[in-house]
């Protein structure tokens, strides 16, 4: 394992095509290979891997959207206020970001392209569908679906009362899921907008991640990693979730990470530890057994060969999974 100690609270731990990248509350972007860039005059509030796979795009409380690579940084957009959320679509080269009630879309291949989509309430999170053509915006009362390139349109609303704080499409594009402020998930089958309540969580759900060739969705917010089945015509409708990795105490999983094409699930805990497991197995592989501040950011790279994480106090790590589970 490679360990890091940062002097600010991490916002995100991600993998671009070259390795691990950390975004921090002091406005800096740190690469595991040693490079550092002061990307923002203030805190980094959100981050996503750039559609090219080279570096990350961050939003800050300075109103800037910044693309940071190991050897360069560029401001992509500025707004009045904060940049609250960001998402990227590798397949189409689109970047979405939000500030207040407006979600905007940029095209990395066209500096003049921009679409702005207005909402009635603040946008809390963004996600592109697997093809990178539709954009989902989590807001109060549900999620708004937009065609990312069309200028004048009305969104399709996936409605459910309450504050929706995170959003994700299933890898096959059939389902949309949101995490809510009141410790529950909500989901919709997009073919007919039939919705489903997915409750029973003791804590707020901050992460949703997909694994096992898209057949499972994992979430944080419980005492183990929660797995929902997505296979079949109805996906999780009428089915129960299973919980893996529960330690027998009240320690909450605060972060989960996986790769859709592979079968491993990584989880970060409220006591600072990090584990790796296979849903069909009964063994936890501890990637870090050191207890400390809660894990606030966690990521697995595309080929499921490495995991990186960061704790609230700035302690972070990157581990090679082959050596960790040998």
CB 21 within 8 A of CB 52: no
Task: With a cut of 90, say whether residue 316 has pLDDT above it.
Answer: yes
Cα(121)–Cα(8) distance, integer angstroms: 31
Residue 246: the pLDDT is 86
**Residue pLDDT, tens place only, 241-285:** 999 998 777 899 999 999 999 999 999 999 999 999 998 877 899
Query: From 1.10.10.10, 3.30.160.60, 2.130.10.10, 1.10.3210.10, which CATH number describes the 8-251 domain?
Result: 2.130.10.10
- Binned at pLDDT 50, 70 and 90, residue 238 comes out as confident
- Binned at pLDDT 50, 70 and 90, residue 145 comes out as very high
Average pLDDT, rounded, for the chain? 96
Residue 232: the pLDDT is 84
Q: What would the two tokens of residue 118 be?
A: 């207005």
Rounded to two decimals, the pTM is 0.96
Phi, psi of 2 (to 5 degrees): -100, 125
Task: With a cut of 90, say whether residue 322 has pLDDT above it.
Answer: no
More confident position, 163 or 199: 163
Identify the weakest region by mean pLDDT among 203-207, 233-237, 241-245, 255-259.
Answer: 233-237
Residue 308: the pLDDT is 98
**Residue pLDDT, tens place only, 113-143:** 999 999 999 999 999 999 999 999 999 999 9
Domain parsing of the chain, residue ranges: 8-251
- Binned at pLDDT 50, 70 and 90, residue 233 comes out as confident
Q: What percent of the chain has pLDDT over 70?
A: 100
CB-hemisphere CA count at 13 Å for 301?
17
Helix (H) or strand (E) holding 257: strand 253-258
Q: What 3-state class would DSSP assign to 167?
A: strand
Cα(41)–Cα(26) distance, integer angstroms: 8
Residue 12: the pLDDT is 98
CB 85 within 8 A of CB 126: yes
Task: With a cut of 90, say whether residue 326 has pLDDT above it.
Answer: no
C-alpha torsion 34→60→131→160, nearest 10: 140
Cα(285)–Cα(275) distance, integer angstroms: 6
């Amino acid at each position: 394992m490679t360990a890091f100690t940062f002097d600010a609270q991490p916002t995100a731990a991600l993998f671009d095509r070259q390795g691990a990248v950390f975004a921090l509350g002091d406005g800096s972007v740190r690469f595991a290979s040693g490079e550092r860039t002061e990307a923002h005059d203030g805190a980094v509030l959100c981050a996503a891997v750039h559609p090219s796979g080279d570096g990350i795009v961050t939003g800050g409380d300075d109103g800037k959207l910044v693309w940071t690579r190991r050897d360069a940084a560029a401001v992509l957009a500025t707004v009045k206020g904060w940049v609250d959320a960001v998402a990227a679509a590798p397949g189409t080269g689109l970047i979405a970001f939000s500030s207040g009630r407006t979600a905007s879309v940029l095209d990395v291949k066209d500096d003049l392209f921009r679409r702005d989509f207005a909402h009635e309430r603040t946008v809390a999170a963004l996600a592109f569908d697997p093809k990178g053509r539709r954009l989902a915006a989590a807001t109060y009362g549900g999620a708004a679906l937009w065609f990312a390139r069309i200028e004048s349109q009305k969104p399709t609303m996936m409605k459910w009362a309450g504050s929706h704080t995170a959003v994700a499409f299933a890898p096959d594009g059939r389902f949309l899921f949101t995490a809510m402020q009141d410790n529950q998930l909500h989901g919709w089958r997009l073919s007919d907008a039939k919705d489903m309540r997915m409750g029973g969580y003791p804590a707020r759900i901050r992460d949703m991640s997909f694994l096992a060739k898209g057949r499972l969705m994992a979430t944080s917010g419980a005492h183990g990693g929660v797995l929902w089945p997505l296979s079949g015509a109805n996906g999780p409708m009428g089915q129960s979730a299973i919980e893996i990795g529960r330690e027998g105490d009240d320690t909450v999983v605060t972060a989960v990470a996986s790769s859709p094409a592979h079968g491993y699930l990584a989880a970060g805990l409220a006591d600072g530890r990090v584990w790796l497991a296979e849903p069909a197995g009964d063994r936890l592989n501890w990637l870090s057994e050191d207890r400390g501040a809660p894990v606030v950011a966690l990521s697995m790279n595309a080929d499921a060969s490495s995991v990186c994480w960061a704790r609230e106090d700035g302690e972070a790590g990157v581990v090679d999974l082959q050596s960790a589970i040998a």
